[in-house]
Amino acid sequence: MRSLDRSGAIYYPGAVKSSAPASRVRLEHSVTTILLLPADGASAVREAMTNRGSSSAKHSIAHRGASAYAPEHTLEAYELAIEQGADFIEPDLQITRDGVLVCLHDLTLERTTNVAEVFRDRYREEDVRGRQLRRWYVSDFDLVELHRLDAGSWFDNRFAGARVPTLEETIEIARGRAGIYPETKAPEVYGHLGFAMERLLIEVLERYALARVDNHARTPVVIQSFSAESLQILRSELESELPLVYLVSEADESLSAKGLAKVATFATGLGPDKRLLLEDPDLAERAHEAGLSVVPWTFRSDDPGAFADVREEMAYFLYDMGVDALFTNNPDLFPR
């Protein structure tokens, strides 16, 4: 396993974290591996078409937009990410009561909007470990109701009035400027409500001529999900040819050589929690051997782990560990 030289000692991911000061940390990657993505994004398309990206380009995916600086999943956060040079923006998907795909991380609205003020009585009460909690589910609201919500003030008053965007609005922002990395969030929950999230997604992409890779010259699309079933529906039932990334948050059988070979039957990439790569130094190599690209998450300036800062952390994963792309809240700090 390639190592990061920390305070003169060889550092193996997964070993006890070093407290070496930043000035003593030396990255060993070669500048010859650092090439820029062409402005038209064409290399993103070519590499997204293959299971594994070549070493010639590494891609930044703006996690929930440039969410270190602007409220997550707002057009403001997506716009800023594109201005900061993100190769892709990442919308998580939820579905409104009237069947519209919107961009939001949570199934519910109360963390990132003022829904509790605007729709005071429209909650469901849930028992969570003995505590009664009020939850305002996206699927209980029509799009026109969602548009009344302020999705920016919780983050900073400067963003007051920012809205929960639809996927279509997000595509309008990105089209011709950056790629899109939509995540089917909790598709099984929406399935129980009668919505087929995967089909809705493909329908929207078709409307913008983005459902086929040969149309992706300036706006590549990669779909990701924690649900293997969701990706299998996209690949087999809907016959989507788009690159698909399987997200993993815990070490399990899917990360063995045999498990990864199975993942490669329905996905083109593996999206592990970055912790899994540190705990299992051979994982990136095993995934590559299975023909999968490796796209870990989430790199954020407010938690760079044992690294001096998030830029250094991202450089280590990209150029020492050899991952192909990564999700970051700080696309401006992505090391190219």
**Tokens describing residue 108:** 């519910």
Interface pick for Ca ion out of 183, 198, 320, 324 (rule CB under 5 A): 183
**Tokens describing residue 204:** 């929207």
Here's the x/- map for ligand G3P, 286-315, by CB under 6 A: it reads as: -----------xx-----------------
Q: Does a cis peptide bond (omega within 30 degrees of 0) precede residue 108?
A: no
**Tokens describing residue 230:** 């969701």
Please tell me the chain's helix, strand, coil percentages from 3-state DSSP, rounded to the nearest 5: 35, 20, 50
Nearer to Ca ion, 92 or 150 (CB): 92
**Catalytic one among 63, 73, 216, 288?**
63
Write a three-state SS string for the chain.
CCCEEECCEEECCCCCCCCCCHHHEECCCCHHHCCCCCCCCHHHHHHHHCCCCCCCCCEEEEECCCCCCCCCCCHHHHHHHHHCCCCEEECEEEECCCCCEEECCCCECCCCCCHHHHCCCCCEEEEECCEEEEECEHHHCCHHHHCCCCCCCCCCHHHCCCCCCEHHHHHHHHCCCCEECCEECCHHHHHHCCCCHHHHHHHHHHHCCCCCHHHCCCCCECEEECCHHHHHHHHHHCCCCCCEEEEECCCCHHHCHHHHHHHCCCCCEEEEEHHHHHHCCCHHHHHHHCCCEECCECECCCCCCCCCCHHHHHHHHHHHHCCCEEEECCHHHCCC
Name the closest residue to Ca ion (Cβ): 183
From ligand G3P, Ca ion, none, interface partner of 334 (C-beta below 5 to 8 A by class): none
- The least distance separating ligand G3P from the CB of residue 270, rounded to whole angstroms, comes to 12
Indicate whether 72 belongs to the interface with Ca ion (CB under 5 A). Answer: no
Interface pick for ligand G3P out of 47, 106, 183, 198 (rule CB under 6 A): 183
Query: Using CB under 5 A, which of the segments 140-148, 181-189, 248-256, 306-314 binds Ca ion?
Result: 181-189
Give me the numbers of helices (H) and strands (E) for the chain, helices first please: 12, 16
- Clarify whether 63 is annotated catalytic: yes
Q: Give the Cβ contact number of residue 217 at 10 Å.
A: 13
Nearer to ligand G3P, 11 or 297 (CB): 297
**Catalytic one among 59, 73, 105, 288?**
105
Query: Using CB under 5 A, which of the segments 49-57, 92-100, 231-239, 261-269 binds Ca ion?
Result: 92-100
- The least distance separating Ca ion from the CB of residue 268, rounded to whole angstroms, comes to 17
The footprint of ligand G3P on residues 153-182 (CB under 6 A) is none
- The least distance separating Ca ion from the CB of residue 329, rounded to whole angstroms, comes to 11
Interface pick for Ca ion out of 87, 92, 320, 324 (rule CB under 5 A): 92
- Clarify whether 216 is annotated catalytic: no
From ligand G3P, Ca ion, none, interface partner of 327 (C-beta below 5 to 8 A by class): ligand G3P
Query: Using CB under 5 A, which of the segments 89-97, 137-145, 187-195, 282-290 binds Ca ion?
Result: 89-97
Indicate whether 76 belongs to the interface with Ca ion (CB under 5 A). Answer: no
From ligand G3P, Ca ion, none, interface partner of 271 (C-beta below 5 to 8 A by class): ligand G3P
Here's the x/- map for ligand G3P, 203-242, by CB under 6 A: it reads as: ---------------------x------------------
From ligand G3P, Ca ion, none, interface partner of 297 (C-beta below 5 to 8 A by class): ligand G3P
Partners of 127 in beta bridges:
132
Could you list the residues that contact ligand G3P (CB under 6 A)?
63, 92, 105, 183, 224, 247, 271, 297-298, 327
Instruction: List contacts with Ca ion (CB under 5 A).
Output: 92, 183
Task: Report the catalytic residues.
Answer: 63, 105
